[in-house]
Amino acid sequence: MDLHGLSILRLNVDWMAGVLSIDIGLGDGEVAIRSSGLRRLSVVWAVPGAPSQPIGRVDVGHEKLNIEIQGGGHISIEASSIEIPERLQRTP
């Protein structure tokens, strides 16, 4: 899955429910990566308050997702379920 150059628009966490949504901007709209059973979340923003930088690299593993942001920063999650829409999986 290559999301290089796309941008993260929003990161929504329902801590009590253990649910996470990462909204990704596409040229013609947006799509969300969703997870449930959230066990771990790490967010490092290289420049707090600055506009979102494009995604540099994405690694998906068993119950894990890591997104590296160009220019620094990352989002790492561990959850029992990670749902990546087909539309993102087909992104060249």
What is the DSSP secondary-structure string of 52-69?
A: PPBEEEEEEETTEEEEEE
Q: What are phi and psi of 72, to 5 degrees?
A: 115, 150
Pick left, alpha or beta for residue 27 (phi over 0 → left; psi -120 to 50 → alpha; otherwise beta). alpha
**What is the domain range of residue 13?**
7-89
Number of domains in the chain: 1
Q: Which residues face 78 on adjacent strands? A: 40, 64
Residue 1 in domain: no
pTM of the entire structure?
0.87
> pLDDT value at position 1?
67
Residue 2 in domain: no
The predicted-structure confidence for 1-35, as pLDDT tens digits, reads as follows: 678 889 899 999 999 999 999 999 988 889 999 99
The predicted-structure confidence for 32-68, as pLDDT tens digits, reads as follows: 999 999 999 999 987 777 777 899 999 999 999 999 9
Give the gyration radius of the chain's Cα atoms. Answer: 12
